[in-house]
A and B are shown apart, each in its own frame.
Chain A
Amino acid sequence: MKTMELLQDIFRDVFDDEELTIGEETTAADIEDWDSLSHMQLIAEIEKRFGVRFTTDEIRSAKNVGEFAALIERKKG
C-alpha cells in the first residue's frame, strides 16, 4: 500500500530513526518520542507531502497510524 509506505518514510524522518517500522496499529504508546509536539510535526509533514489539510477534530482524534492512512485516502478521494 502506497500510503503506508510514504507514512513509514515520514515517521522515520520525523523521529530520526531509519529502522522505525510502523503498522496500522502503531500508536503514540509504541514510539517513545511521539508526544503532542511531534504529533504536530507529523501532521505538518503529512499535510505537506500528501497535499492534504486536516481539521482540528481529525488531528485531535486520530489515534493510530491506520486512522491517519484512512483519513488521507478519504481526502485524496
Chain B
Amino acid sequence: MAEDLAKWKELTRDVSDFSSMLKAARRAEKQGEGDVPRIAVLGTNSIQLIVSVLRALLLSDGQNPRIYEGEYDGIRMDVLDSDSPFYRFAPDYVVLLPELRDIPAYPELFSSEEETERMARESAGYFLGLCERIHEKLPAAQILLSDLVLPFSEQLGNLEANCGFSRTAYLRRVNALLGASRSGYVTILAVDALASYVGKKNWFDETAYFLNKSGFSLQYIGDFCDLIRRQLRALSGKVRKCLVLDLDNTLWGGTVGDLGYEGINLDPNDAVGEAFLAFQRYILLLKKRGVILAVCSKNEEDLAREAFEKNQHMVLCYDDISCFVANWNDKASNLRLISEKLNIGLDSLVFFDDNPTERAIVEKFLPEVAVVDVPEDPALYVRALDRFHAFDWLQLTKEDISRSKSYADNRKREELLQSLDDYGEYLRELAMKASFLPLSENSRERFSQLINKSNQFNLRTRRYSEAQIGEMMEDPAFGLYTVSLRDRFSDYGIIACIILRSEGKSCFIDSWVMSCRVLKKGVENYTFQKILSLLKEQGISELRAEYLPTKKNRMVEGLLPELGFSLEGEDGEGGRRYRLELPGGEIPAGTYYIEEE
C-alpha cells in the first residue's frame, strides 16, 4: 500500500502536466473503488474527466474515495428530486459545478444600479438556494460550490468596464455575493481566480466546449482538480500553520555575518533590495491572518537578531517571530526543535530557504515538512510561496489571528517561569481566567476548527463538519461546550471543546479536544471540574469515556485514569473504554490555579 501511495504521488507530482494527469486518471479508473470519503460531483458541463483526475489526486493523498458522478447538466435533476440517486448515495462532500448557462437572467441595457443588484442577489440566491436544498436533505454534507468563471468576451466593447449593467460587472457581483452570503456548510471554490492566473485565453477552449461541453481546456484539468483536492484536505483538518524562514538571501540580500546589519541588502532604491522587501511585506500579511512565523538560520544568534532590531528597512520585527532559532546545527534538528518549542507537529511546518542543499536535507530527513521549491530570483519569492498554497485553511477565526501573538507572548511566559522556581507559583503568577460555556452560534466556526485540527490533546479524534456540529446543537441528547482562557499576557480565546452525549442517567464524552498552546496549565482539570458539576446538576450518575490511540494523541493516553476513571475494557487496537461513577458528593478533579472569568 505504501508502495502504491508512492506510485500515485509520483504519477501526480505535477498537476500542471495534463498528460501525466490524464494517464493517472486512466489508471485510477482501473483501481478498485474505495468508500471513504464519499463525494458527489454534479455539474452543468461534462464532469467525467474531472471525476477521474480527482480520484487519482485523492489516491495520491492516501484516500480511495467513492465518487458519485452526476449526469451531464444534471444539477437540478439530482438536487430538486428528493428521491434522486444522488441523495440515496448520501455523500460526505458535494462538489457543485454550475456554469454561466445556469445564470437565470442578465440585466438589460441601462438597468439601474438597484435593479442590477437585485438581479445579482437573485442569481446568487439561486445557487445558494440549491445548496440549501442539499443541506436540508443531507445536513452533514459539506458543499463545495464553484464560483462563475467570467468570460473574456466584452459584449459592450470598451464600455464593458464603464457600465454597472455590463455582463462582466454583473457576474463579478454574483461571485462576490456567493462568497459573502454563503452558509457555513458551503465553501466557494475560486475557479475564476484559477482561470485568471493561467489566463482566460488559455483557460477557455471553445472547440472542446462545442464538441464535448468541456468547461475549460483539458490543459488545466489537473489544476482544476487540485483546487477541489486542496479544499477537501483543509476540510479533513490537514492544514499547515507555521512558516519557517531562512534569513540570508531569503529575507534579505547577502550574509549578515559578513556584512553586518547595515550591509545586508534591503535597499528600497535597489531592484533586488526591493524584491526582498516585497517578500517581507507578503510574509507580514500571512502573519496578520494567523500564520505563525519561525526563523531557522545558520548564523550567530545575536548578529541575526541585530538585523531585525537595527536595520531601518526591515519590515518584519523580532516580535513577529514566534520561534527564533539561529545557530550552526543542522536544519533538520532545528526544525524539530521549532516544532517542539511551538508544540505543533512537523506536518504543520512549511520551510522556505533559498539554499537547495538545505531544502534537500529537510526533504530527505523530515518528509512531513512541506518544502517550498524556491526560485533563484528573489523577485519570484512571493509568487513561489503564494502558489505553493501552503496555508489553505477552513476558515479564519479570531483565535488564529491572535495565535501568533500568543506564541510570541510564550517567550515572555518562559522568562517568567525561569525567574520562579515553583511551577505552582508560576501558574498563580499567570493570573489565568477561564470560562466554560455552552457552544453558541458565533463560536461554531472556531469549535469546528478545533475539533478538526486538534491532533494531540484529542481523546477520540472524531472529526465533525460544521454542518454536523449544527445538527448536534439541535439535538437535546448532545451537550457542546467551549472553554476560553486568558492570562496576564494574552487572551487565547476558545482553546478547548467538549461534546457530551447523554442517555438517561449515563453520559459519554464523545469528544474532548484542547489546543496545545495551553498545555500544562491545569486547563484540563478546570474543564473536568466544570463537566462534573454540570453533570451533577443534571442528575447524571455515570460518566463514560474512551481513549482511541492515533500516532499523535499519546499525550492523553493517561488522562482518564489520572482523572479517576477506571478501565472497563479494551478493543484489539489499543482503544480503551473507561467509566466513572458520580456519587452525590464533591469529586476532586485535580488542582488548578484558574479563576472563573
Contact = CB atoms under 8 A, between A and B. Distances in A.
Interface of A: 13-16, 33, 36-37, 40-41, 44-45, 48, 54-56, 59-60
Interface string B31-59: 00000000000000010110000000000
B23 A40 contact: no
B207 A56 contact: yes
Contact of A16 (B23, B46, B218): B23
Contacts of A54: 207
B214 interface: yes
Given A37-B49, A40-B211, A59-B207, 19 more contacts: A13-B19, A13-B23, A14-B22, A14-B23, A15-B26, A16-B23, A36-B211, A36-B212, A37-B46, A37-B48, A40-B208, A44-B18, A44-B218, A45-B19, A48-B19, A54-B207, A56-B207, A56-B211, A59-B211
A63 B388 CA distance: 42
Nearest to A48: B19
B97 to A, nearest CB: 16
A36 B218 CA distance: 13
A44 B210 CA distance: 15
Nearest to A45: B19
Nearest to B18: A44
B298 interface: no
Contacts of A44: 18, 218-219
Most central of A16, A33, A48 by chain B CB within 10 Å: A16
Nearest to B49: A37
Contact of B212 (A14, A16, A40, A48): A40
A38 B472 CA distance: 46
Interface string B163-207: 000000000000000000000000000000000000000000001
Given A37-B212, A41-B218, A45-B19, A55 B26 contact: no
A38 B19 CA distance: 12
Given A13-B19, A45-B19, A40 B218 contact: yes
A39 B302 CA distance: 63
B373 to A, nearest CB: 24
B27 interface: yes
Nearest to B46: A37
Nearest to A41: B22
A37 to B, nearest CB: 6
A56 B210 contact: yes
Nearest to B48: A37
B146 to A, nearest CB: 20
A25 B68 CA distance: 37
Contacts of B18: 44
Contacts of B19: 13, 45, 48
B211 A60 contact: yes
Contacts of A36: 211-212
Nearest to B209: A56
A40 B207 CA distance: 10
A26 to B, nearest CB: 19
